[in-house]
Chains A and B, each alone.
Chain A
Amino acid sequence: MDKLLRVSYSPHIHGENSVPRLMWGVIISLVPAFVLSILYFGLGAILVTATSVLSCVLFEYLIQRFIMKVPPTVNDGSAVVTGVLLAFCLPATIPLWLVALGALIAIGVGKMSFGGLGNNPFNPALVGRVFLFISFPVQLTSWPLPMGFKTKLVDAATGATPLGMIKEGLLNNQQVPPLMEEIPSHMQLFYGNMNGSMGEVAAIALLLGFIYMVVKKIIPPVIPLTILGTVFVFTGILWLANPESNADPLFHLLTGGVMLGAIYMATDYVTSPMTKKGMVVFGIGIGVITVLIRRFGSYPEGVQFAILIMNAFVPLINSWFKPKRFGEEVQHG
């Protein structure tokens, strides 16, 4: 009698990739940004992040367990990523119940209502963020002052973001160069020393995370590079055409949510295109819409809307931009 053998189709080996491994890789890459947010915003950063992560995981568990009645899959790490990213685009002084509400919308509406991981058309963290932003504009735009650094920004505990100051000033017929006097230097902006969402401010930490993810092959660099490149070029053209009413391109890259958005929100696997060509189109779209909103819209920052708008185009992009098939070009000497 033969020993009973297992049979299956090939391939018989599998690479070491797994969803949890990728998700935890993303989380590790977010550590520098988290550390800097604690440095700038203190206890608030820890509380908001913890609340957001715990709520996201809890809501996903409860919804899967009691509403969808499927085995919960919270240990795949995707809810943790959503939680961290949602926290990172909130001000550190936001009431914690609002954070939990945002998490419920992010996970419940943004993710689980479409069937859970892999099925949602929109980035869940951004869905939660935009919901809060539109429903609770006051709490969502009370940007705390970064602790520990004496800036000449404002003397109150909260103040406007650099982008908000520019927008406000332009609406009051001020010009950009004098406005820039009141804003920290580009170097300070690069380190994240400004009013803003807790995880968005420190470009240096986000870029470190980006490099980590690219080196570890967690994400391809295409989407962040095209978004940042597009923003740089578009704002650069505006700036060169009229430096009196436009901030310089570097300022645009270092402020607001464009770094976090380009590196973490737009690269969400589920809601971004499948091919490199598609990713380029997606990235250019996000960059252009972001600048249009920043410059001509009524909000100072537009990256959150830009990403959600382009998320909606992903199925179309996927059917238009196919990979180059092998043997497609039949021209040989």
Chain B
Amino acid sequence: MLKTFVKGGVHPPENKLSASRPIESLPLPQTVSIPLSQHIGAPPVPLVQKNDRVKTGQLIARSEGFVSANIHSSVTGKVVKLEDVMDAGGYRRPAVTIQVEEDEWMPEIITTPGLIKEFDLSVEEIIEKVKEAGIVGMGGATFPSHVKMSVPRGKKVELLIINGVECEPWLTSDHRLMLEKGEELLVGIRLIMKALQVEKALIGIENNKPDAIEHLSGLCLGEKGISVVPLKVKYPQGGEKQLIKALTGREVPSGGLPIDVGTVVHNVGTAFAVYEALQKNKPLIERVVTVTGPSVKNPSNFLVRTGTPVNHLIEAAGGLPEDTGKIISGGPMMGKALNSLRVPVTKGTSGILILPESMSVRKPVLPCIRCSRCIFVCPMGLEPYLLMTLSEKEMTERMEKEHVMDCIECGSCSYICPSNRPLLDYIRLGKAQVNQLIRSRKK
């Protein structure tokens, strides 16, 4: 019996069309727009001005405060604009737009491909370099990684969990990374283990990626303390709390963090970025992005510089299909629908999913028939049908009592509902109401 989390979950069609497509380096676009806020936390302060020349890997915005991240230029060229651009969420955010001229990397960055294994770094050095490189959680949450590597006083980490689950349908960027950069990944994991001072790391991978499981298991044979755990395929296993439950049986308490149960979770993409930052002095300026969809001509996995507009990726995958209805940044369960093709790729962009018109329209909403399916699939043990009603009626305090803030927004409830009810939409509204209430209490 393969391990998985106990409560709830759904199994949408996997559709990993691009799983066998090796990672290709995407040619540079003419301009990139690098948003300053690509992470959760305070936006960094820009260090460049219009008409400045920047090199690839050069720091262009310095992090502000502890929970923040540096931003580096992903290309070489001239800064043409410091203006707001539309992000994946549809908001306008400050960004640095650079006209690409050539590709001259900062001199300290090692650009040769050879594997480097240099572990002679102190805990502080590792954390400092991760912070300098602007690394954030690359699974999508984009929380600054150095914060997760700094163990708070009084807490003890026993286990590092590496998230190679990639439970979102369609996406394959982590899968390809594990296949093609396995050795680098293990070095990255070793470095994170050192920063956290743990002896043990588990790499959780769902069973629909047998090649990645086999490859990494082989590499782990010589690695003390690191092992691969195959997991039964179930969405949302890539959710931090679900993955911890699947691997350790422990439940992160309501409102708590993984560290409360002695664990820290990092995505495989993050571990690879840590390797590059510490062994090659390379800041986080590119990532693997899957471009896929039912009508996409060449579903692909691209290595993309941050700030590259989405249409550049789509062109490289065979162009925008005729029947396009919706373009999603991320996976179909939790991704964001884009309203412009010029939205730039950021550190958290795991994929671009292009859905045809026929898959883009929601079905008509029927009354709730109380079939209980939303309760059965909720991985957090909530009652989505009830929360939706409470949210509609703005019964904020009751919603808080019903643990609405525990919702991880995985979308399993809306996915399963036979009446096509927009459960998660209303639960999100409800969470915003409760957040407001909590804030008003603090005043």
Name A's B-contacting residues (CB within 8 A): 2-3, 5-15, 17-19, 21-22, 73, 76, 78, 116-119, 220, 269-270, 272, 274-275, 322-330, 332
Contact = CB atoms under 8 A, between A and B. Distances in A.
Contacts of A324: 7, 381
Given A14-B363, A18-B363, A327-B241, A7 B371 contact: no
Contacts of A19: 366, 369, 418-419
B334 interface: yes
A274 B385 contact: yes
A7 to B, nearest CB: 4
B12, B338, B357, B367: residue with the most chain A Cβ atoms closer than 10 Å: B367
A5 B371 CA distance: 33
Contacts of B359: 12-13
Contact of A22 (B367, B383, B386, B418): B418
14 contacts: A5-B325, A9-B424, A9-B425, A11-B333, A12-B333, A13-B415, A18-B418, A118-B367, A272-B370, A275-B383, A323-B378, A325-B381, A326-B379, A327-B380
A12 B326 contact: yes
* Interface residue SS majority, chain A: loop
B368 A118 contact: yes
A21 B419 CA distance: 10
Contacts of B90: 7
A274 B370 contact: yes
A17 B355 CA distance: 20
A116 B368 CA distance: 11
B2 interface: no
B415 A3 contact: no
B375 A323 contact: yes
Interface stretch (B58-66, B245-253, B268-276, B278-286): B245-253
Contacts of B10: 15
A15, A272, A329: residue with the most chain B Cβ atoms closer than 10 Å: A15
A327 B326 contact: no
Given A5-B327, A269-B370, A328-B254, A14 B333 contact: no
A326 B251 contact: yes
B16 interface: no
B403 interface: yes
A220 B411 CA distance: 22
Nearest to A11: B411
A5 B324 contact: yes
Nearest to B330: A10
A290 B10 CA distance: 37
Given A326-B406, A330-B253, A12 B363 contact: no
A102 B367 CA distance: 25
Given A5-B340, A11-B333, 19 more contacts: A5-B325, A9-B428, A10-B333, A11-B334, A11-B424, A12-B360, A13-B169, A13-B359, A17-B373, A18-B420, A19-B369, A22-B371, A117-B366, A220-B376, A269-B369, A327-B253, A327-B254, A328-B381, A332-B251
B204 interface: no
Given A325-B381, A327-B251, A3 B341 contact: yes
B140 to A, nearest CB: 11
B334 A10 contact: yes
A3, A5, A11, A270: residue with the most chain B Cβ atoms closer than 10 Å: A11
Contacts of A14: 362-363, 414-415, 417, 420
A325 B341 contact: no
Interface string B343-355: 0000000000101
Given A11-B411, A17-B417, A3 B324 contact: yes
Given A5-B339, A332-B250, A12 B369 contact: no
The 4 closest A-B pairs by CB, nearest first: A11-B411, A118-B367, A17-B418, A7-B337
Contact of B380 (A6, A7, A78, A326): A326
Contacts of A17: 373, 416-418
Nearest to B252: A327
Contacts of B80: none
Nearest to A271: B370
B122 interface: no
Contacts of B332: 10-13
A324 B188 CA distance: 37
B92 to A, nearest CB: 15
A15 B367 contact: no
Given A275-B372, A326-B406, A327-B254, A11 B381 contact: no
Contacts of A270: 369-370
B328 interface: yes
A3 B341 CA distance: 8
B381 A326 contact: yes
Contacts of A12: 326, 328, 332-333, 335, 337, 353, 355, 359-360
Nearest to B256: A327
A11 B424 CA distance: 8
A323 B370 contact: no
Given A3-B341, A118-B369, A323 B383 contact: yes
Given A5-B325, A22-B371, A325 B382 contact: yes
B366 A322 contact: no
Contacts of B361: 6
Contacts of B355: 12
B78 interface: no
A13 B325 CA distance: 13
Contact of B367 (A8, A10, A13, A116): A116
Contact of A6 (B262, B325, B340, B369): B325
B39 to A, nearest CB: 20
Contact of B371 (A116, A269, A325): A269
Contacts of A269: 369-372
